[in-house]
Chains A and B, each alone.
Chain A
Amino acid sequence: MECRDFTLQLDDWLDGRLDTFRERSIRQHLNVCADCRRRHQHALAVQAAVRELPAPIPHPSFVEQALARAIRGPGAGARSTRRFVFGMALAASVMLGVALGLFLTMRPTPVQAVLLTLERPQTVRLVFNSAKSLQAATLSLALPENIELVGYGGQRELAWQTDLNEGRNLLQLPLIARGAVKDELVARVSHGGSSKTFRLKIGVDDAGPAGM
């Protein structure tokens, strides 16, 4: 057997797909070829490394929320009488003019976390960039424990149907932190069988208004 034949048959051998004759030839070749022994060891090591790569465990809150959404069904979008308005983003100076605004842009420089002050309503602003206008997209929000959307009491899951304009779309979320926050805020935009999830870490400063 040549080294080239060994290389060609290596995967079949690893998968136990060689007949007795070819397997014997491979073993005989390995006995006399150090290069192919190294190839074999390398192949085994790579295979083991990939096999042992641990997968993350789904977050318990994701499992609960995903099952709840599945039960509600894909049409369970707008169930609130209050509707957030997506609009073209205003000029930067106007956006910066919101004194308490925390500006989160998804692109091009995503911010992964915002800091809220305990018991103080603050507006978190999310900007979604869309390549073209989307009619009746569904926006859903899953709020972590101890975070409330002002005007919605303790409601932790909310969804709206809305249109997205081409370009930047601004979503303003008036939030209030009631305590320490462990989980993330999850925003999900769905349209036409496709969806995208965004996550926002929320830190809470309990120093009160003076801490801002």
Chain B
Amino acid sequence: MRPQVEYLYRLAWRFTGSVADAEDLVQDVLLKLYPRTRELLEIDRLRPWLAKVLYRQYVDSIRQQARSPIADLAADGDAEGDPFDTLPATKDGPEEHAERSAWRERIIAALEQLSPEQRAVVAMHDIEGYKLEELETILETPLGTLKSRLHRARQQLRALLPVEPFFVGERVKA
């Protein structure tokens, strides 16, 4: 399972937008999958299968958190630190780095405005590149629902992310 942990973690982070929640989600999935290691070896396309398991666990955890007192133990959001602490280093200078950070934060903030289901379809389709037909199986959701979910999510993102910041990198400096 080790080679798949990074993939699971990346997806989990895209679903949850939080390092701590991503770790919890991956841990829960690994606990479930470890006894099924042999079964995993027989699966042709492992990543879509893992994505399906992860998504199910994600949905379950949202439902559980809605009724579990443990959700109340949650530290405030900023207690988990900056998720970009563990991002790969870039070669930007301080000014570019600051611009990039602000820009990333705006994108993350916009993604946080989406519902968990919308975030999942955006993550899987627009970021990870799965086709909607594949997502019917992975997310166990009818094609029509996925299309309208994706459409609404994109509309919301466009409304939350005006054009200008996306061209920051192309601005000609005086």
Contact = CB atoms under 8 A, between A and B. Distances in A.
Counting contact residues on chain A (CB < 8 A from B), the size range is 35 or more
Given A45-B163, A55-B10, A195 B28 contact: yes
Interface stretch (B41-49, B64-72, B91-99): B64-72
Chain A binding surface, main DSSP class:
mixed
Given A53-B104, A54-B88, A11 B30 contact: no
Given A73-B34, A106-B73, A194-B70, A46 B79 contact: no
A102 to B, nearest CB: 16
Nearest to B68: A194
Interface in B146-165: 147, 150-151, 154, 157-158, 161, 163
Interface of A: 11, 15, 38, 41-43, 45-51, 53-59, 62-63, 66-67, 69-71, 73-74, 106-108, 110, 112, 128-132, 134, 137, 184, 188-189, 191-199, 201
A130 B157 contact: no
Given A70-B30, A107-B76, A198-B79, A189 B70 contact: yes
Given A56-B84, A58-B6, A189 B31 contact: no
Given A45-B163, A56-B84, A57-B88, A198 B75 contact: yes
Interface residues of B, number: 63
Contacts, number: 164
Chain B binding surface, main DSSP class:
helix
Nearest to B148: A11
B86 interface: yes
A97 to B, nearest CB: 25
